[in-house]
Structure 1
Amino acid sequence: MPRLSPIAIALGGTLLLAGCASSAGLAPQGTPRDAATIEAGRALAGAPLSPAAWPGARWWTALGDPQLDALVDEALADAPPLAAADARVRKALAQAGLADAARKPSVGGGTQYAVAQLPAGLAGEELGGQLMHNAVLTLKFDWPLDVWGGKRADYLAALGQARASEVDAQAARLSLAANVARSYVALAQAFDDLDLARREQARTGDLVALGKQRIAAGLDNQAALRGNEALAATATAQADAARHRIDALRNALAALLGQGPDRGLAIQRPHLLETPAPALPSVLPSELLGHRPDVVAARWRVEAAAQGITSAKARFRPSIDLSGLVGLAATGFKGLFDSDAFLGFGGPALSLPIFDGGQLRSNLAARDADYDLAVAEYNRTVVDGLRQVTDAVQAIRALDAQAAALEQARTAAAAAAQVVEQRQRAGLANRLDLLAARKPLLQAEQQLAAVRSQRYAAAVDLDQALGGGIAATAPTPIASH
Structure 2
Amino acid sequence: MTVIFAAVLSACANYAGISSDKQLATPDTYATQQSIPADSGQWPAVDWADQFGDAQLKALLEEALKSNPSIEQARARVAAAAAYSETAKASTMPQVGATYSFTRQQYSSTALVPPPYGGSWQSENKGLLSASYDLDLWGKNREALKASLSQLQASKADAEVVRLSLTSATARAYNQLARLFALRDIAQQEVTQREQIDRITAGRIATGLDTQVERKTAQANLASSRAALASLDGSILTTRYQLAALLGAGPDRGLAIARPSLGIGDEVRLPANLPADLVSRRPDLVAAKWRVDALVHDVKEAKAEFYPDINLSAAIGLDAFGFGRFLNAASRTASVGPAIHLPIFDGGQLRAQLKGRYADFDYAVAAYNQTLVTALSEVATQLAQIRSTDEQLVDALAAQEAARSADQLALVQYKAGLANQLTVLNADTTALQADEQVANLKMNRRDQQIALAAALGGGYSDNAGADTDAARQSAGAAPAVKPNPVVAVR
Match of 1:249 in 2: 239
Match of 1:6 in 2: none
5 Å matches for 1:99-118?
99-118=88-107
- Corresponding letter in the other structure for 1:263: R
Match of 2:155 in 1: 165
TM-superposed CA distance for 1:377, in Å, is 0.4
Whole-Å Cα distance in 1 between the matches of residues 407 and 118 of structure 2? 119
Match of 2:488 in 1: 480
TM-superposed CA distance for 1:241, in Å, is 1.4
Pair 420,231 (structure 1): closer, same or farther in 2 beyond 3 Å: closer
Match of 2:142 in 1: 152
Whole-Å Cα distance in 1 between the matches of residues 250 and 427 of structure 2? 45
Contact preservation (8 Å) 1:102, 1:151: yes
| Structure 1 residues 192-226: Cα deviation after superposition (integer angstroms, max 9, x where no partner) | 11111111112222223333443343322344334
| 1:17 maps onto 2:23 in alignment | no
| 1:44 maps onto 2:42 in alignment | no
Match of 1:82 in 2: 71
Match of 2:477 in 1: none
Match of 2:192 in 1: 202
Contact preservation (8 Å) 1:18, 1:353: no
Contact preservation (8 Å) 2:209, 2:417: no
Q: What's the % identity of the aligned pairs?
A: 35
SS in 2 for 1:193: helix
TM-superposed CA distance for 1:336, in Å, is 2.4
TM-superposed CA distance for 1:162, in Å, is 1.2
TM-superposed CA distance for 1:378, in Å, is 0.3
| 1:386 maps onto 2:376 in alignment | yes
5 Å matches for 1:320-335?
320-335=310-325
Match of 1:70 in 2: 59
- Corresponding letter in the other structure for 2:145: Y
| Structure 1 residues 453-472: Cα deviation after superposition (integer angstroms, max 9, x where no partner) | 11111000000000000112
TM-superposed CA distance for 1:256, in Å, is 0.6
| 1:453 maps onto 2:460 in alignment | no
Structure 1 window deviating more from structure 2 (19-28 vs 444-453): it is 19-28
SS in 2 for 1:333: coil
Contact preservation (8 Å) 1:105, 1:141: yes
Structure 1 window deviating more from structure 2 (360-369 vs 271-280): it is 271-280
Contact preservation (8 Å) 2:154, 2:291: yes
Whole-Å Cα distance in 2 between the matches of residues 415 and 206 of structure 1? 17
| Structure 1 residues 250-272: Cα deviation after superposition (integer angstroms, max 9, x where no partner) | 00111111100111110011111
TM-score by length of 1: 0.91
TM-superposed CA distance for 1:27, in Å, is 0.7
Whole-Å Cα distance in 2 between the matches of residues 124 and 142 of structure 1? 34
Pair 412,125 (structure 1): closer, same or farther in 2 beyond 3 Å: closer
Contact preservation (8 Å) 2:36, 2:379: no
SS in 2 for 1:187: helix
Pair 12,328 (structure 1): closer, same or farther in 2 beyond 3 Å: farther
Match of 1:227 in 2: 217
Whole-Å Cα distance in 2 between the matches of residues 273 and 121 of structure 1? 96
- Corresponding letter in the other structure for 1:13: I
Structure 1 window deviating more from structure 2 (103-112 vs 54-63): it is 103-112
Structure 2 unmatched runs, 5+: 466-481
| Structure 1 residues 422-448: Cα deviation after superposition (integer angstroms, max 9, x where no partner) | 7789x6857967776444333211110
Pair 104,67 (structure 1): closer, same or farther in 2 beyond 3 Å: same
Contact preservation (8 Å) 2:164, 2:458: yes
Match of 2:400 in 1: 410
Pair 418,120 (structure 1): closer, same or farther in 2 beyond 3 Å: closer
Match of 2:476 in 1: none
SS in 1 for 2:324: helix
| 1:297 maps onto 2:304 in alignment | no
Whole-Å Cα distance in 2 between the matches of residues 365 and 193 of structure 1? 59
Whole-Å Cα distance in 2 between the matches of residues 392 and 176 of structure 1? 19
SS in 1 for 2:129: strand
Match of 2:260 in 1: 270
| 1:134 maps onto 2:124 in alignment | yes
- Corresponding letter in the other structure for 2:10: G
Pair 210,416 (structure 1): closer, same or farther in 2 beyond 3 Å: closer
Contact preservation (8 Å) 2:39, 2:271: yes
Structure 1 window deviating more from structure 2 (356-365 vs 334-343): it is 334-343
Contact preservation (8 Å) 1:38, 1:285: no
- Corresponding letter in the other structure for 2:107: L
Whole-Å Cα distance in 1 between the matches of residues 381 and 241 of structure 2? 29
Structure 1 unmatched runs, 5+: 1-8
Whole-Å Cα distance in 2 between the matches of residues 421 and 209 of structure 1? 12
Q: Which one of 430, 441, 466 corresponds to residue 431 of structure 2?
A: 441
Q: Which one of 173, 177, 186 corresponds to residue 176 of structure 2?
A: 186
TM-score by length of 2: 0.90
Whole-Å Cα distance in 2 between the matches of residues 12 and 96 of structure 1? 40
Structure 1 window deviating more from structure 2 (102-111 vs 171-180): it is 102-111
Contact preservation (8 Å) 2:290, 2:483: no
TM-superposed CA distance for 1:121, in Å, is 6.5
